Copies of this chain bind each other. A is one copy, B any other.
Amino acid sequence: MSGSLIIAGLGPGAAQLITPEVTAALNEATDLIGYAPYVARVTERDGLTRHGSDNREELDRASHALRLAAQGRRVVVVSSGDPGVFAMAAAVFEAVDAGDPSWRELDIQVLPGISAMFAAAARIGAPLGHDFCAINLSDNLKPWDLVERRLRLAAQAGFVIALYNPLSKARPWQLGRALDLLREELPGQVPVIFASAISDAREAIDTVPLAEAIAERADMRTLVMIGSTQTKLIARANGKPFVYTPRSVGAAT
């Protein structure tokens, strides 16, 4: 078999944030597979077949990609951000693990990308400058009780918390519940950052105290970051503060 499967990260949106390694892989692909809006970010050209699919079809998409690679195609599965973070890389390896034993001998590579939390953090300062965690707030694939338990432990640990997939039409109440729970664990002045559509034309980012954070500020394209008790704001004349978490902490939180 001469086929290959690459799972590539397109970063948050801007072409300037796509690594040369990913660009080269896209230029050599015969087949492109992914959630339709991500596939649409790659320009059409002769010799490239684009297979866009709906959201929440990750395993079907992964199996499709593996079958094509096994047939000798050069397949690239595209993800937004980094493919290893709540994205297609895990789905592909789940499909490999459960699928045809020959699939595990395929040439499979993951090419990293700029993850949403780092793109968002960079836009506002350095909120992830100290220990942090990333939690997928979706309870489609894990029980909500476990999400709540992780949020509490993360707050108790003093992690800055990046929340991916904070809400959707099918999951309208989870972010509000998470914010309520975090208000039980953390002081009300802890900064909460809502970062939407980072690096594209609709980019919006703002910071509010946890006490005033409401779920309605977020949508499907929002990343939410909850600061720790150490996270600080630096006021500026333009009204857009820098937000950062110092590297040092004097005593246990």
Residues of chain A at the chain B interface (Cβ within 8 Å) = 11, 14-21, 24, 58, 82-87, 89-94, 96-97, 104-105, 108-115, 118-119, 121-123, 125-136, 141-143, 145-146, 149-150, 153-154, 156-159, 232, 234-237, 242, 244-253
Contacts and interface: CB of A to CB of B under 8 A. Distances in A.
User: A20, A85, A114 — which one has the most chain B CB atoms within 10 A of its CB?
Assistant: A114
User: A122, A130, A134, A253 — which one has the most chain B CB atoms within 10 A of its CB?
Assistant: A122
A89 B237 contact: no
A134 B135 contact: no
B242 A93 contact: yes
B85 A118 contact: yes
A3 B244 CA distance: 22
Contacts of A252: 143, 145-146, 149
A250 B143 CA distance: 7
| Copies of this chain, tallied across the complex | 2
A93 B129 contact: yes
CB-CB nearest 4 A-B residue pairs: A90-B129, A133-B133, A141-B248, A89-B126
Given A19-B16, A97-B234, A122-B83, A244 B89 contact: yes
Contacts of A131: 133-136, 150
B84 A128 contact: yes
18 contacts: A14-B21, A16-B24, A17-B112, A20-B20, A84-B122, A84-B126, A93-B126, A93-B129, A96-B234, A97-B232, A97-B244, A104-B242, A112-B114, A112-B121, A131-B135, A133-B134, A141-B247, A149-B252
Given A19-B114, A85-B129, A90-B126, 8 more contacts: A84-B122, A89-B122, A94-B247, A133-B133, A133-B159, A141-B249, A146-B158, A153-B156
A135 to B, nearest CB: 5
Contacts of A109: 122
A119 B112 contact: yes
A130 B86 CA distance: 6
Contacts of A104: 234-236, 242
Contacts of A14: 21
A29 to B, nearest CB: 16
A251 B110 CA distance: 28
Contacts of A118: 82, 84-85, 112-113, 115
A46 to B, nearest CB: 24
Contacts of A93: 125-126, 129, 234, 242, 244
